[in-house]
Structure 1
Amino acid sequence: MRAVITVIGKDMVGILAKVSNICAEQNANVIEVTQSVLQDMFAMIMLVDITGLTGSFTHLVDSMNELGGSLNLSIHVMHEDIFNTMHRI
C-alpha cells in the first residue's frame, strides 16, 4: 500500500526533513520525492510505502496535519487507492 503526500506553502528551511522525519517515525518508507520552489513558494509531492506503518493511517494523516498547522503549510495525505480512483473518473 502506498500514499501520496503533497506539501504547498511558503518556502523555508527543513520542510522536506520535517515531513520525512514523520514518515520515518511511523515507518512509512519514502519511495519518491519531487519538489520545486517557485519564487518563494514550496511545492512537493512524495510517494510513500505505508505497508509497514507502526500506527494507523489516520495517525499519519493527523501528524502531517499537525505539522502543516504549525508551519502554516498545506499538507495533504491521500491513500493511493483514493488517488487512483479520483484520476480514473
Structure 2
Amino acid sequence: MMKVVVTIVGEDRVGIIAMVSDILAKSQVNILNINQNIVDGFFNMVMIVDMANSTIRLTELQQVLKKKGEEINLEIKAQHEDIFRIMHRV
C-alpha cells in the first residue's frame, strides 16, 4: 500500500469532491478515507488514498491536481503519507 494525503482548501462550490474523485478514479487511485468540513464558506477536505495500483506516479498526480485546483481557485496538494506526517508534526 502506498498511502498519500490529498488536501483541498478553498472557497466552497458545487462539484469539488466529484472533480477530485474523477481525477483519482481515472488514475486508478483508491480513496480510503475522506474528511471534509465547510466553515464560513471555506471548504477543507483531507483524503487518504492508496496509489499502489495507480496508473500514474505521485509527481504526475501532484501536477494534475495542482493545475486543476489553480483553474478553479483551490489549493490541492498530494503528499506521501510519511512527508505529510513529518511536515505536520507538533
TM-score range, shorter chain: over 0.9
| 1:88/1:67 CA distance change after superposition, 3 Å | same
Per-residue deviation, 1:87:
4.6
Aligned to 1:62: 63
The number of residues matched between the two structures is 89
Note if 1:18 corresponds to 2:23.
no
Per-residue deviation, 1:88:
5.3
Misfit runs of 4+, over 2 Å: 84-89
Report the RMSD for the aligned CA atoms in angstroms: 1.3
Gaps of 5+ in 2: none
Gaps of 5+ in 1: none
| 1:70/1:47 CA distance change after superposition, 3 Å | same
TM-score by length of 1: 0.93
**SS of equivalent residue, structure 2 residue 24:** helix
| 1:7/1:87 CA distance change after superposition, 3 Å | closer
TM-score by length of 2: 0.92
